[in-house]
Each structure stands twice: as C-alpha cells, then as structure tokens.
Amino acid sequence: MDADATGRIVAFLRGIGLDVREEPLDADTFLPGVRIVRGAIVYDRERLAWPGDLLHEAAHVALTPSSYRHALDDALDGEVAHPHGGEVESIAWSVAAALHLGLPLALLFHAGGYHGHSLSLARSYELGVYPGAAGLAALALCTLPSQARPGAPAYPHMLRWLRD
C-alpha cells in the first residue's frame, strides 16, 4: 500500500467535508480494508490493498444527496438510486479526484478492480473519453469540455465535489 497516497487521499476527502475514519476492519469487506458506515468512509490501513479504492467509495458518498448520506452502508447494495449517482459517475468523480491530487490513474485503476476492465477504463480517460462526466455536469459539479467557454476549466476539473 502507498502510505503517502493514502494520506493525501484521506486529507483531501476530509478537506471537502467527508467523514473519514481509520479503524480496524474485519476481512469481510466488499473492497479490502475499506467500508462505508452510516455515510462515513472507514478504512483499515493494515488491510487497505489499494488506496484508490478510498476515492471510489468516497465518490459514492459524495454523489449521494446530502440528506441520504447518513444512510449509506457497506457495499451499497440495495441503496436507493439517485439520478447521476451511479457507478459510471463514481468512476468519473474518482478520476477527477485522482488527477486533482496528482496521483496516477494506475492507483485508481489497479489490477484488482473493475472486473478486469481497469486498463481499458484508464485508457478511455487518458484519451479524453470521459464516461460519467455528463452525469457530473448534470449535477453542476463540473463543466463538460464541449460546453466550457474558451479558457474556462472543464472536466476533469471539478467546480465542487459534493452533491447537494
């Protein structure tokens, strides 16, 4: 595990207003060493296999309407779906966060994730194809490159990180 990346990610997530706690976790977690508990991202430094997983799980919390965040738990199975808060938007959010932090996309799209599609996902974003960015723009979290005024920052730049 990359301790420097983990520290930077945790500081960023806390800085945008998410509850992040370090606590011992048992081995039974959806992603190794990270869990969502009542809207908080809880991680176990000893069990965290991939620091980028913190960003992905945080994206699910950040993209949930603020009035529902407190109800989020574990692997998000059975959670109430909210428009533009799904898996593809969570991936786009976590890519924007990784780039904002100056972290390589390989930290997010590691070999153990995304059901074997990590490399193709990373390649898409590297080529400027941004699955999920339209959903983030619909939430007014970013501006799409095709809609940005000349010289104005567009995705992967984020205007704000949390859904209202």
pLDDT band at 76 (very low <50, low <70, confident <90, very high): low
- Give the Cα separation of 38 and 35 in Å (integer): 10
> What do you get for the CA distance between the two ends of the chain, in Å?
32
> Is the per-residue pLDDT at 93 higher than 90?
yes
Distances (CA, A) of 95 to 46, 113, 120, 128, 163: 24, 14, 14, 12, 16
CA 94 to centroid of chain Cα atoms: 3
Closest CA to 48 of 93, 95, 91, 7: 7
Please write the tens of the pLDDT for every residue from 111-146. Answer: 888 878 899 999 999 999 999 999 999 999 999 999
Write down the domain spans for the chain.
3-138
User: What pTM, to 2 d.p., does this model score?
Assistant: 0.93
